[in-house]
Structure 1
Amino acid sequence: MTDFALNARPREENGRRPSRRLRREGLVPAVVYGDGKPARGIALEARELRKLLPDDRAYTHIIALHLPDGTETALIRDIQMHPYKEEVVHMDFLRVHAGERVTLHVPVHLLGEAQCVGLKAGGVLHRAVVELEVEAPVDRLPEAIEVDIRNLQIGESLHLSQLTLPAGVQLLALKHEDDKELVSVHSARIGGEEEGEEATPAS
């Protein structure tokens, strides 16, 4: 059920001063909550996070948090970064269990951009969204939503309802009848204006 793991220790104290002390010791304060259980403060090793977080899969896969009294299975819910350093200052984890359906934001990956008919004809690509909120069983969360744009021509667009999704995966927007545009190809601009449009004279 899990693909990633982190070592964790209980965190008894909250607040800025204890958190600063943890960071000086090479630890990152975090909290794990959800699944009908009380929230629990934990501390993670910063060096392990530096290895884990560059892997995009970590954001859509279950992570085993190994504690002295057992293991929590959770998803990353939020990461707070230092304002000007590449350092994690706090993390939130959501407890999950096998078979549970959860919602998560996943990135949108475009496929076939180099072969896109409209772009080859001189069109310009417009991406309306870069991520989508999905609902799926925790063991079927997609790493990304893939959108094939190879056959997209100038003046055409793709919407959520045109996607083929993995089994068990639903798009939250479609559940609310919001058929968002994903991507489109427009005519290239000439001299700052669309083809066939006249420039508005300056007043």
Structure 2
Amino acid sequence: MSNELYTLNAEVRADLGTGASRRLRHADKVPAILYGADKEALALTLEHNKVIKAQEDEGFYSHILTLNIAGESVEAILKDIQRHPFKPKVMHMDFQRVDASHKIHTKVPVHFLNEDAATKGGNTVAHQVTEIEITCLPAALPEFIEIDVAALAVGVTLHLSDVTLPAGVTSVELAKGEGHDQAVVTLNAPKGAASEEAEEAAE
């Protein structure tokens, strides 16, 4: 993804409320809000076609974005995006300002590597999660987290505690203590093989 898609031009809007937001959407604009970093929240407007193009890429949801607002470049992360229930239309977006000295709390996607090797012989890889909730300083924010399943044994489940996170990155769930070590991925045997093993165990 190019840096151009990580940058969005935004305008400050003074006309607030449901009616105002509806008028913006009819004009192919996206109402948004920018908050955080102990600064006043700003109501913004973005170009819908630019947003649609940018949000198609996975990195848009975990990368630090640049919002150009009245000549000022503001770094932020996307915290929420609301879509129309059936139309290809973005209804509203929430952005949080990024402060280099303060940790951010967000979710990053998981990329599972070498699934072809793991599924030889009819095994199946079951993804228990598709993203991991993390905290870190902005400079340490990963675009995604990679998990290699090539050496995963049949019937084994990898948990959050088995995942090697980048330096400076902490799992939100693991920080909560025991009982929060979520399952991440499991390698299952072919259904027929599983049935045969169960029969043998019963005998």
Shared fold per TM-score greater than 0.5: yes
SS of residue matched to 2:122: coil
Offset at residue 69 of structure 1 (A): 5.5
Measured in 2, the distance between the counterparts of 1:120 and 1:47 equals 42
Give the structure with the larger helix fraction: 2
Offset at residue 84 of structure 1 (A): 1.2
Matched, 1:153 2:153: yes
Measured in 2, the distance between the counterparts of 1:123 and 1:52 equals 36
Matched, 1:13 2:15: yes
Offset at residue 113 of structure 1 (A): 0.6
Residue 89 (structure 1) aligns with: 91
Measured in 1, the distance between the counterparts of 2:59 and 2:47 equals 19
Matched, 1:194 2:195: yes
Give the aligned length.
193
The residue correspondences of 1:35-114 to structure 2 (distance < 5 A) are: 35-68=37-70, 70-114=72-116
Letter in 2 for 1:171: S
Measured in 1, the distance between the counterparts of 2:122 and 2:31 equals 50
Offset at residue 121 of structure 1 (A): 3.7
Alignment check: 8 A CA contact 1:80 1:89 kept: yes
Tell me the TM-score normalized by structure 2.
0.87
Runs of 4+ with deviation above 6 angstroms = none
Out of 9, 19, 33, which is 2:35 matched to? 33
Tell me the TM-score normalized by structure 1.
0.87
Alignment check: 8 A CA contact 1:159 1:179 kept: yes
Percent identity of the aligned residues? Answer: 38
Alignment check: 8 A CA contact 2:115 2:125 kept: no
Offset at residue 124 of structure 1 (A): 2.6
5+ residue gaps in structure 1? Answer: 199-203
Residue 201 (structure 1) aligns with: none
Residue 144 (structure 2) aligns with: 144
5+ residue gaps in structure 2? Answer: none
For the aligned residue pairs, the C-alpha RMSD in angstroms reads 1.8
Measured in 1, the distance between the counterparts of 2:60 and 2:158 equals 28
